[in-house]
């Protein structure tokens, strides 16, 4: 079996939503200390709390790029509250799997989106439960 699924290869070689939003309503940047990869997510949110646009910049491995691309596709057009519920597991499933040692790359996508949503909440004085933004610890085999 190939190491990477067709979906991963597709989103790595042809990533969706790459770039930057200059007047973003929320920006999240996260990094993984172990591999040194960095991911930045920009959100544009309308008055109804719907994510009308999302862009990412990822300085990282193929799985991190594919995960960011897929994650942005999954949250575009959705309410912010729904984006907050996006798990790395859902990203991995949408990508039709990632090798176990690469699961942490998908966690980066989940965390970058959460950081961007938190920034959006902070900028707009929207109250939230800090528990929702707790760091996630994963185990890799």
Supply the residues annotated as catalytic: 35, 105
Does an H or E element contain 102, and which?
none
- Shortest distance, CB of residue 28 to ligand FES, whole angstroms? 15
**CA angle at 17 for the pair 62 and 25, rounded to the nearest 5°:** 120
Regarding 69 and contact with ligand FES (CB under 6 A), the answer is no
Among residues 51, 54, 91, 108, which is the contact residue for ligand FES, using CB under 6 A?
108
Regarding 37 and contact with ligand FES (CB under 6 A), the answer is yes
- Sign of dihedral through CA atoms 104, 134, 18, 5? positive
Regarding 60 and contact with ligand FES (CB under 6 A), the answer is yes
Distance (Å, rounded) from C-alpha 58 to C-alpha 47?
A: 28
Q: Contact residues for ligand FES (CB under 6 A)? A: 32, 35, 37, 60-61, 63-64, 102, 105, 108
């Amino acid at each position: 079996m190939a190491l990477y699924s067709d979906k991963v290869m597709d989103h790595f070689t042809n990533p969706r939503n790459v770039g930057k939003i200059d007047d973003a309503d929320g920006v999240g940047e996260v990094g993984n200390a172990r591999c040194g990869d960095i991911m930045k997510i920009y959100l544009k949110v309308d008055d109804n709390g719907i994510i009308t646009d999302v862009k990412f910049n990822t300085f990282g491995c193929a799985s991190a790029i594919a995960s960011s691309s897929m994650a942005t596709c999954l949250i575009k057009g959705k309410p912010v509250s729904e984006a907050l519920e996006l798990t790395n597991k859902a990203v991995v499933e949408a990508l039709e799997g990632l090798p176990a040692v690469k699961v942490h790359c998908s966690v980066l996508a989940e965390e970058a989106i959460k950081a961007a949503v938190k920034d959006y909440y902070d900028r707009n004085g929207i109250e939230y439960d800090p528990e929702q933004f707790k760091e996630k610890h994963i185990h890799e085999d």
